[in-house]
Structure formats: C-alpha cells, structure tokens
Structure 1
Amino acid sequence: MIDATQPVVAAGSDPAVEREQRFDAPPFRARGPVSEQLLQAFRRPTADAPETLAGLAGAIDDALAGSDDIARDDDLQLALLVLHGLHYGSVVDADEEWEWHPAMVAARVAIERAFERQLREQVPSVPLPAPDAEAVAAVLFELTKPTPGPSVARFVAKQATDEQAREYVVLRSVYTLKEADAQTWSIPRLEGRAKAAMVEIQADEYGGGRPERMHSAIYARTMRELGLDDRYGAYLDAVPTIRIASVTMMTMFGLNRRLRGASAGHYATYEMTSSLPNRMVGDGFRRLGYGESVTDYFDEHVEADAVHEQIAGRDLAGGLAEQEPSLVADIMFGASASLMVDGWGAEHTLEAWTAGRSALRQAGGTDRRIALQQVP
C-alpha cells in the first residue's frame, strides 16, 4: 500500500543525505504562528514532516477561530500566500514534495474555505443577468464604469512624490511579478468560447511568444530601472496584508475548479479596470521625469487591456455564462469580490498618502520605507 504522506525517493538515493538537505530562508518574515511554522517547515525536507508539522492543524484552527477578518489577518494571509507559492514555485525555496503533502493541502483548503465564506458574506449583491453573453457583459461594464473622485491612479498621475510612485510599484509587485499566472490555472477548467477567450488574453500577457515582452518581465525591468529589487517577495514585509489578500483571492479562484465562474468574473473585472488607470500611472511617472524604460509596462496595458476588456467581458465571462448558466451567480460574485477587495487596498493607500504617511506596512514600530532603499 502506498503511503501518501511519504515523499517519493529516487532509486539509489540515500535517505540520510536527503534529511540533511536544507533550503534557503525566504526574503520575508513570518507574521504569526501559522506562517512561522510553515516557513520553518519549508527549510527542511518532507522527510522531517512529522517533526516540523506537529501542531500545525491546531494552530490553523486557533488562528481561524480567533480571526474576525481573514482578509486583513497578517498571519493567515501570509500563510495562504506561501501555501499557494508551493504551486507557483519561486515564492519559497522548498522541497517540491511539499506541494501535494496532505498537511499542506489540508492547511490551504482550511484557510481558503474560511476566506471564501467571509468574501461571500461581505461582497455586495448585484442583480443577476440572464445567462447571455451580452447581458453579462452589460452588467460587468456597468459595475466597472469609470467614476469621478479620488483614486490611486489619479493620485499618482497628479500629485504623487517620487517615493510614493515607487511605493506604488512595490505594492503591485506581489501580483505583477507573477502577472496572469493566477488566471492561467483556470484554462483547463474552461471549454469552448470561454477557454479560447482566456487563451487569447493570456497569450498577450505572456508576450506573444517573446519572453522579454511577458508582462511580468516588463514589470521586473520597471523595478530595476527604479533601483528596486525585482526578486519575488523582496518587499513582501512592506506590503500591507490587504494587498496580499487580493493576490490570494485570485489564486484561490483559479486553483479551485468549482470557483471557475468566480475566476472568470474576477478576471473580466480586472481587465475592465486596467486601461485608464495604467494610462494615468504612466503619465504620473512621466511627470516625475521618468522615460520609456519605466513607463513601458503601464503604456503596454493602455492598448492591450482596452482590447482585453471586451474579450474578457463578452467571450470569457459571457461565454462561460452561456455554456454553464448555473455559474452566473459565481461570475458576478467574482466580479464584485474583485472590486471590493481591491477597493479596500486602494482606500488604505490613499488614506496613508493623503495623510502624508507611507502606504507600506509598519511592522513593530519600524518604518518600512527603508525597504525602498535602492539596490546596487
């Protein structure tokens, strides 16, 4: 009988040598007992699981029971980010056997289910359209239509300081250094028109076959041009938890087949709210004296996402609604959840900047602006 809790050991390998293997610590710190235990476990091979994971399930149960706001819970959101990171790679240096270790799967599912429940309780309800592509697209375009008033993009365009503009880049890096990957999980869960639409969008996101034009690669160059560290997680200590929640939410939607409707609605909304803000942010960096090497990422999204929003609204979300009418409610849930959680992040940033404070996370009384010191 196969023991699923034990790692696969290659023929001829020495278990004693395997147990001595150690992995590098990530460039960020734990935010509580659950994330601390996970990060410590990932420093060691899965052969050490009984020792390193003793009490993990109980710690997660305690953390979930004691949290009244999982979207803003430092420990649980970081824990979920690193658990998702096992599927992505290059988030934490860890034994690859951890990805499907039963304890890791159980931990991820427990946190995800609690997070999803909170989102479903808090997301604003919207009238459900008919399961028709044009009807679904019409509701999504209404939800995402531009509105006057303060926004992070307008702030960057008109009045952000150089430091605030660089903070903006750091805040976005948790998602954008892996841009589009969270949605790619959905491709095999879709069929027909919706699948073709997703692939068409993702082809652009991944540079149309040119690795240097992948949006994540362009963003990494932007960071380097600004003197920032483009390693994933290099500034994670400085990123507020609500920004992490935006990333864990979209990954949760993409990774779970039963949430494919939410993933489609989320992505449609994400694309529909991208073109104009990116134009403003690009203008803001030009106002501060930066050239194309910095603005390339934002300028790329002005034209690309103006096309993507039509595909995402009508063919991805609308096409999925026609194929699977039972998913209309989840499509609307994903769209509304995207606007709600990203809105929370924007409110946090604007509140800090308008008060003259850094929008980066303050940990233990330490000003996290030190994280923006230029790298060599």
Structure 2
Amino acid sequence: MTAVDTSAPVLPRPRGELSAGIIETLRGDIGRSVPSMIDADPYGEDLQLALQLCYELHYQGFDGVDPGWEWNPRLLELRAACEKRFLDALLRDVPGGVDLDAELAQLVTEPTEPTDIGAHLREAGEWWQMREYFVHRSIYHHKEADPYAWVIPRLRGQAKASLVAVEFDEFGGGRGERVHAQLYADLMAAAGLESGYLYYLDVVPAPMLAVVNMMSLFGLHRHLRGALVGHFATVETTSPPGAARMVEALRRLDAAPECVRFYAEHVEADAVHEQVMRRGVIGDLITRQPELTSSIVLGIQATNLLEDRFADHVLAQNWASGRSSLRSPGLVAPDSIPADRLRSTIRVNRRM
C-alpha cells in the first residue's frame, strides 16, 4: 500500500483574474479584502479554478492558508456568485424535466459500440494516454466519495440507510487500505505518477475540474440534495461497464496489478451499488419527497453533460491530433517517470 501524503496541497497557479484574486486573498489573513466577481466563462479555466479553490477549503484546505477562510462571509459571497454562474449554465444546457424513469433507463443502455475514453484506451490507447487519464481522474478519485457524505443528514429512512451502505463500501468497508481513494493512490504510484492529494491540480484543465466542482456544488447545498443523488446514481450505474473496459485496456497494456485492481474493484462493487441506489435511495426518496424528481433528473443530466465535455476535450480536441490533454504537455511522457518506478512502465513501452 502506498503511503498517503496527509499534508495539505499547495495553492495552484492562477488561470485568470478571478482565480488570481482568490489565491492572493488566501495567502493573507482573514481580515483582508476579497476580489469582486467578474464576467467569466462558467465552464472556463478561471471560474472553475476559482470554485475549486473555494470548495477545497471544505475538504483538506491548502498549505499555509488560514482555516478561518472556510467560513469567511465575504469569500462565501464570492463563491455564491461563482456557483450561480455555474449552476445557471448547467440548467441552461440540460433538457430538464421529470421523466426519471427514462433517464434511469438510458443509464443502463449500453451502446453497441462504445466511444468513450475507456473504449479508446481498450482498443487503441497508448500508455502515455492512460497515464494522462489517470492524472485527470486523480482530482476526482482523491475525494471520490467525500461529497456524498454531505447528503447523509439530508435523507431519511431507507434512502439514508441505503446511501450509507454504498458509502461504507466506497470507504473500504472499515479497512483503510481498501478505501477507494487509497486504491487510486496505489494505482498512481504503480503507474509511475505522484500519488499525493491534488498533486496534479495545476495541470488538470477545466473540464475535469467542472465534474468535481459539480459534486461539491450539489453536496454543499441542501436544496440540491436530489441532484447529488442523481449524480451518485449515474456514477454507480455507468461505472461497471466503463470499469470493465478499463480493466481490459490495462491488461492489454500489461499494466501493474495495482492499476488493474482499482478498476476491477469498481466492476464488482458498483454492479451491486447500482441496484441499491435505484431502489433503496432513489425509490425511497421520491416516495417520500416526489417534488425532488426534477432535481434528481438534473443531477443525471448534468453529470452526463460534463462527462461528455470532458471526453470531448480529451479525445476529439487533443488525442485525435496526437496532442496532450493536460495543461502541461509532455508531463507524463516516458522520460518523466522516476527511475524507481520504471519497472511496469518499461514493460508496457516495449509493446508500443
């Protein structure tokens, strides 16, 4: 098991005027001024990093940043303005509605020929692309199940019990070495990558930050609890086939066992979780609170929207032209791998 770095991450580099102002603010004491909201692209690098900065104060915080910033009213006011711009864009860009059955049915319908990132990696992916994908997803998997914990006190009855049952598995069933975030740290180390919490925040672009920020947005607001449940159900429903493709891709590339283990775990566990989420959580929740149906639909649709945007960024906008999908091209090229981690990577590169 890879030793987990428990230190707080360092503040990232800014990506625009808004994020630069927040970073400068966080470097000072909690009495200093907070920047004003600006007109920023809701899916763009600047606003998504700004939200990431604000939300991370509720997770592990940042090295050298006063913990008092977490609940500073002026910073919360700025975060609320950023959230509104992001949420308004999500509401604008999804169809909405209350046809939950149709949305759930669509989730379990696998295309005849999948075209997602996992399918590409399985059929033709190169090792450098697999490692880039690991870097992108590290921002998500380092806090994989954490945002869902916020919804627990906002549920009752069977919905609460069922969601906690899924979370229990996500957090390793009581075993620290089986926590999914730990399994991902093991995967990163086995792939010759740094496994530290948010180590690659500076190089992961906005499309993946938006996916993680959506989780925090839904988790931190009680009125969006249905959307968080919808997001969670989407992840658990689509994970088994997607994880199975990743297992096949990693075995084709002769990846280290720790890399395969993470996705194999999701093939097995999430197949059960999907039924628990649909029947135990969603079924009970809409029986008790049918008015949350549209919110659950929002969570499903927003997740699909942002995951599609991420896949388009990686595949169509970059890998299709042989370009890196990260903000620092060449970061995970073979010659950047630490010498003490080359064993499994060299085995893969000999096949390329």
Given the two structures, how large is their TM-score scaled by the length of structure 2? 0.88
1:199 and 2:164 equivalent? yes
1:89 lines up with 2:60 in the alignment: yes
- Does the 8 Å CA contact 1:77/1:244 hold for their aligned counterparts? yes
Query: Normalising by structure 1, what TM-score?
Result: 0.83
Return closer, same or farther for 1:246/1:152 CA change in 2, 3 Å cut-off. same
Shift of 1:368: 2.5
TM-fit CA distance, 1:125? 3.2
Q: After TM superposition, list the pairs within 5 Å mapping 1:133-212 onto structure 2.
A: 136=100, 139-147=103-111, 148-212=113-177
Larger radius of gyration: 1
> What is the CA distance between 1:193 and its match in structure 2?
1.5
Give 1:282's match in structure 2, choosing from 232, 244, 247: 247
Runs of 4+ in structure 1 deviating by more than 3 angstroms, as ranges, are: 90-93, 136-139
- For 1:368, the equivalent position in structure 2 comes to 329
SS at match of 1:368: coil
Residue 32 of structure 1 is matched in structure 2 by 16
Query: % of aligned pairs identical?
Result: 37
User: Where do residues 1-376 of structure 1 align in structure 2 (5 Å cutoff)?
Assistant: 26=10, 28-46=12-30, 49-50=31-32, 53-54=33-34, 56-57=35-36, 60=37, 62=38, 65=39, 67=40, 69-71=41-43, 73-91=44-62, 93-126=64-97, 128-129=98-99, 136=100, 139-147=103-111, 148-351=113-316, 352-361=318-327, 367-370=328-331, 373-375=336-338
Deviations 1:5-53 (A, max 9, x none): xxxxxxxxxxxxxxxxxx998263111122112222222332xx32xx2
C-alpha distance in structure 2 between counterparts of 1:368 and 1:274, whole Å: 28
Letter in 1 for 2:174: G
Q: Unaligned stretches of 5+ in structure 1?
A: 1-22, 130-135, 362-366
Contact 2:9 2:197 in 1 (8 A): no
**Residues 119 and 245 of structure 2 are in contact (CA less than 8 Å); yes or no, is this contact kept in structure 1?**
yes
- Of stretches 346-355 and 269-278 in structure 1, the one that deviates more from structure 2 is 346-355
CA deviation digits over 1:96-133, x for unaligned, max 9? 1111011121111111111111101111235x24xxxx
Q: Answer yes or no: is the 8 Å Cα contact 1:85–1:92 preserved in 2.
A: no
**Structure 2 CA distance for aligned equivalents of residues 275 and 108 of structure 1:** 34
Contact residue 33 and residue 75 of structure 1 kept, 8 A: yes
RMSD: 1.9
Of residues 89-98 and 113-122 in structure 1, the stretch that sits farther from structure 2 once superposed is 89-98
- Cα distance in structure 2, aligned partners of 1:304 and 1:91: 32
Q: Bigger shift: 79-88 or 103-112?
A: 103-112
Q: Is contact 1:197-1:315 (8 Å) kept?
A: yes
Aligned partners of 1:107 and 1:42: how far apart in 2?
Answer: 13
Unmatched segments (≥5 aa) in structure 2:
1-6, 341-352
Q: Which amino acid aligns with 2:21?
A: Q
